[in-house]
Structure 1
Amino acid sequence: MVRYRAFLALPGVWLVFSAATLARLSYATLVLSQLLTVQAATGSYAAAGTALGVYGITSFTMPAKARLLDTNGPRRLLPLLSTLLALALTGLAVAAGSTVTSPLVYLAGAGVAGLVAPPIGPTTRAVWARLTLGPAARQRAYSLDAVVESGLFAAGPVLAAALAHAATPATALASTAAAHLPGSLVLATSPLLTRPARSAPEHPGEQRSDAPAVQVGTPAPGDQAGPRPDAAPAARLRRVLGPLTRPGYAVLLVFTFAIGLGNDPLEVAVVACGQQQASAAASGLLLAVLSLSAAVGGLGWGHLVGTAHGRRLSEASPWSVLAALAALTSIAAAVAALVPGLAWLTVTLVVVGAASAPVAVVVYTAADRFSALDGGSEATTWVNTATNLGASLGTAGAGVLIDVHGTASAFWAGAGFTAAGAVGAWSYRLRARLADRA
């Protein structure tokens, strides 16, 4: 069993963990600080929202940047991307401080920021994957990672709002750039990032329990007679599309998209419900409950995987686990839609939060099995991208639903999308089981 303290005590881990946390904090403060900066400079929420949309669309280049980092190494490329991001954000802050009001300036700056933003989270998780030898140890590392990420994205908007209130929104944006650059630069200098993607076992006879049954380059049954005529085009396609060509990976991305699409309407509905039934302060407390329960759920899951029950759970199909967790989230969201009152809403948020971090852990562990074929971070970066795309669409859709049909409709939408994710994961599990029997 690998405990959290023992994991952090591994040589070099604490430096990577601290530097990555600082760099990822900037992503947690970026959205709100950018929104407030552009709105204050242009006087238009439409311009501010469009700038965020441009940043979100251009940041979908994350998988391509992850592949570049995997291919060329992070030592040179990560500092370059981080420096460009810091310059783009600083440029936006300077423009706002110089009373530039043209929305085109901020749209261009937001687009550049999204294009150059480096994949800090996937790069860090690739380090954890290289340091852990078994599924239980890896899930524990990913649990700690998920807890920290949840905490950062809970505290980030609060910190950005406090900086904007104490000084100016442009100051909050400049502080975001100032936090990102040193964290990324220190992260890039760590020897842990420059180790081979899949190192050999440290002890003779030690094997990775999650290693693929057929390694890259091993001919599949029926291929011994020589390459097929279409082998070269197929190989080129696999190189271009990477993990997207591997069986089951697209299903995993659809699942994470559905979870992002379903979970973010819940957060918007929580804010609306708190404001309608009490005050804005109540909304903040409800979101804090959601974040705290996610942290507890992540830490609890990491502890569970090291126990006898956890070992049995790790032997189960990840699709079954994901289906169960998504179904639990869907039921909680449906209860929130049916039962009014902040007390019941708080209970349902505890359930939703406690399930959210384990979902992330299992998803990243499953994605890491696809990464094991090439040792890179591209597979987990696609997972992040699918989740963020679903979250962006879910947030926008939730606002429209609440305005037209009321708060309960957003809870129902969240319940529906997470239920769809549960059904999809379970259906794929059944299909795989039937294929194995055949």
Structure 2
Amino acid sequence: MSTPTPRPSYAAVLRVPHARRTFAAALVGRLSYGTVSLALMLSLTRSTGSYAVAGTVLAVFGGTGVLLSPYRAALVDRHGLRRAVTPMALLYGGLLCALAELCRHPGVPGAVLAGAAALAGACTPPLGSTMRAVWAELLPDRHLLQRAYSLDGVAEELLLVSGPLLVGAVVAVAPPAAGLVLSAFLVVVGTLAFVTSPAAALLRPAEREKGDAPAPGSGGTGQGRALVQPVVVAACVGVSVSAVDLLVVAYAGERGLGDGAVAWVLAALSVGSAVGGLVNGAVAWSSPTRARLPFFAAGLGVCLAAAGLAPGLGTLVLAVTCAGLFVAPALTTSYLVADESAAPGFRVRAGTWCNTAVNAGMSAGAAAVGLLVERLPLPVCFAVSGAVAAVAALVPGRRRRGAAGRPGPVSRRRSPSGASGRP
């Protein structure tokens, strides 16, 4: 007799054996990503006395992390979670401590700081994409996986908000370099707890197959084409969301609103995203993920374009909240489509390409809107940022060859005893 599938709720996700321990450990490690940027910026500005140097070093740190993320993901897929992620976390934590020590000594050349930051960024462990890959192996069906990805996305939003608050509490009683040491502690402790969880053992190394392409992010030409839609949507969402920050600042400046107004609008975006993510995970969608993805991208684009027409702060908050409702669902669905497109043993790389696309899109969006806002009226800038997301909705979705009718992520991989791969 087959075991009945648990009711697809958030509680059912967390009741899966080892899920709570594994998820909590991963979140502890990922909290480091919410603390490290502010801690590094504060440490560098106090050490060098130059915002230009601090900004350059921070850009180097983030740039190497983003550019090399597909290669780190490839190491996880090929060598397994424990053998690949553990050394990354230890190196990353050690290099953050080295940066903290360098920042304690004013006068250290910017080139030395940039070199240490580049090495640290290169070793950043891919805890987000590996946790999503573990979710995909751990859960028995796509409905539960949708809930897990939504829960994961909302938790990540909260980490990015709470991380800077934690750094603020630390620097109130200690020098900024202590924030870097805290970031190192979080990532090492969280990663060690994560990789030693029984659920982490489900993520096995990939078997090298004949014709396996050497590209770091895909398991073949067919899979590469199947990843185009989720990667493009993730990148365009990143562009649009990052544009909102500067556009809201410009909106407040034009109307003589204070910084508090900016904070309220950006908080509305985060709240909308969190609510949208929870609702998306709770809905039992009848349409396939590839069909839903363009809808979420288009919804984000339309709401952002409407935000540019807001006559006052209240309507701007409402429009931005509505835009936020589509952010987490768009990203969560991108990760789901990427997972469906991934060949066995390539899950971490598939998810990492989406994550890389979001980060790259956010960087590009911030730079582009900075140029546009000085040359075009604000409503046009809002419309352009929304158009980027809307255009992504036009990217056709293609299945990986042979992926049609693919069973759930756990049932397709069996243990030697014949039982499902769940622990």
Q: Could you tell me how far 1:358 is from its partner in structure 2?
A: 0.8
On the 8 A contact 2:47/2:105 being kept in 1, the answer is no
Q: 2:248 matched to which residue of 1?
A: 270
Provide closer, same or farther for how the CA distance between residues 109 and 431 of structure 1 changes in structure 2, counting only shifts above 3 A: closer
Alignment of 1:134-153 (within 5 A): 134-153=141-160
Q: Could you tell me how far 1:370 is from its partner in structure 2?
A: 2.1
Report which stretch shifted further, 238-247 or 67-76. Answer: 238-247
Question: TM-score, normalised on structure 2?
Answer: 0.85
Could you tell me how far apart the structure 1 residues matched to 2:399 and 2:213 are? 26
Q: Could you tell me how far 1:321 is from its partner in structure 2?
A: 1.4
> Is 2:86 aligned against 1:79?
yes
- Give the residue type in structure 2 aligned to 1:270: V
Q: Please, which runs of 5 or more residues in structure 1 have no aligned partner? A: 199-215, 218-231
Structure 1 runs, 4 residues or longer, greater than 6 Å off: none
> Is 2:366 aligned against 1:390?
no
Could you tell me how far apart the structure 1 residues matched to 2:139 and 2:276 are? 21
Alignment of 1:24-423 (within 5 A): 24-59=30-65, 60-195=67-202, 197=204, 235-237=211-213, 242-243=218-219, 245=221, 246=223, 247-274=225-252, 277-305=256-284, 310=285, 312-313=286-287, 316=288, 318-374=289-345, 376-405=347-376, 407-423=378-394
Q: 1:224 matched to which residue of 2?
A: none
Q: Could you tell me how far 1:344 is from its partner in structure 2?
A: 1.0
On the 8 A contact 1:293/1:351 being kept in 2, the answer is yes
Provide closer, same or farther for how the CA distance between residues 177 and 403 of structure 1 changes in structure 2, counting only shifts above 3 A: farther
The secondary structure found in structure 2 opposite 1:338 is: coil
Q: Could you tell me how far 1:405 is from its partner in structure 2?
A: 4.1
Could you tell me how far apart the structure 1 residues matched to 2:344 and 2:84 are? 23
Q: Could you tell me how far 1:250 is from its partner in structure 2?
A: 2.5
Q: 1:207 matched to which residue of 2?
A: none
Could you tell me how far apart the structure 2 residues matched to 1:244 and 1:387 are? 22
Deviation per residue, 1:297-332 (Å, 9 max, x gap): 111111112xxxx2x13xx3x333121111111111
Could you tell me how far apart the structure 2 residues matched to 1:299 and 1:188 are? 27
Could you tell me how far apart the structure 1 residues matched to 2:100 and 2:399 are? 52
The CA RMSD measured in Å over matched residues stands at 2.6
Q: Could you tell me how far 1:196 is from its partner in structure 2?
A: 5.1
**Higher helix content, 1 or 2:** 1
Report which stretch shifted further, 286-295 or 189-198. Answer: 189-198
Q: Could you tell me how far 1:397 is from its partner in structure 2?
A: 2.2
Q: 1:229 matched to which residue of 2?
A: none
Q: 1:205 matched to which residue of 2?
A: none
Structure 1 counterpart of 2:12, from 6, 17, 23 = 6
On the 8 A contact 1:41/1:100 being kept in 2, the answer is yes
Could you tell me how far apart the structure 2 residues matched to 1:253 and 1:28 are? 23
Report which stretch shifted further, 381-390 or 403-412. Answer: 403-412
Q: Could you tell me how far 1:127 is from its partner in structure 2?
A: 0.9
The secondary structure found in structure 2 opposite 1:99 is: coil
Provide closer, same or farther for how the CA distance between residues 2 and 236 of structure 1 changes in structure 2, counting only shifts above 3 A: closer
On the 8 A contact 1:326/1:418 being kept in 2, the answer is yes
- Give the residue type in structure 1 aligned to 2:21: L
Deviation per residue, 1:338-384 (Å, 9 max, x gap): 22311111111211111111111211110001224335311001110
Provide closer, same or farther for how the CA distance between residues 387 and 100 of structure 1 changes in structure 2, counting only shifts above 3 A: same
Deviation per residue, 1:401-422 (Å, 9 max, x gap): 3345465454233112112112
Q: 2:414 matched to which residue of 1?
A: none
Q: Could you tell me how far 1:279 is from its partner in structure 2?
A: 1.9
Provide closer, same or farther for how the CA distance between residues 183 and 39 of structure 1 changes in structure 2, counting only shifts above 3 A: same
On the 8 A contact 2:305/2:384 being kept in 1, the answer is no
Q: Could you tell me how far 1:77 is from its partner in structure 2?
A: 2.5
Could you tell me how far apart the structure 1 residues matched to 2:220 and 2:361 are? 18
- Give the residue type in structure 2 aligned to 1:262: S
Q: Please, which runs of 5 or more residues in structure 2 have no aligned partner? A: 1-6, 405-423
Provide closer, same or farther for how the CA distance between residues 399 and 37 of structure 1 changes in structure 2, counting only shifts above 3 A: farther
On the 8 A contact 1:266/1:410 being kept in 2, the answer is no
Provide closer, same or farther for how the CA distance between residues 399 and 241 of structure 1 changes in structure 2, counting only shifts above 3 A: closer
Q: 1:201 matched to which residue of 2?
A: none
Deviation per residue, 1:248-284 (Å, 9 max, x gap): 2123322221221122101232244346542222222
Q: Could you tell me how far 1:28 is from its partner in structure 2?
A: 1.4
Q: Could you tell me how far 1:193 is from its partner in structure 2?
A: 0.9
On the 8 A contact 1:25/1:180 being kept in 2, the answer is yes
The secondary structure found in structure 2 opposite 1:237 is: coil
Could you tell me how far apart the structure 2 residues matched to 1:159 and 1:12 are? 28
Could you tell me how far apart the structure 1 residues matched to 2:227 and 2:282 are? 27
Q: May I ask how many residue pairs the two structures share in their alignment?
A: 390
On the 8 A contact 1:261/1:417 being kept in 2, the answer is yes
Could you tell me how far apart the structure 1 residues matched to 2:42 and 2:344 are? 43
Report which stretch shifted further, 19-28 or 67-76. Answer: 67-76
The secondary structure found in structure 2 opposite 1:377 is: helix
- Give the residue type in structure 2 aligned to 1:138: L
Could you tell me how far apart the structure 2 residues matched to 1:251 and 1:128 are? 22
Could you tell me how far apart the structure 2 residues matched to 1:32 and 1:401 are? 27
On the 8 A contact 1:163/1:171 being kept in 2, the answer is yes
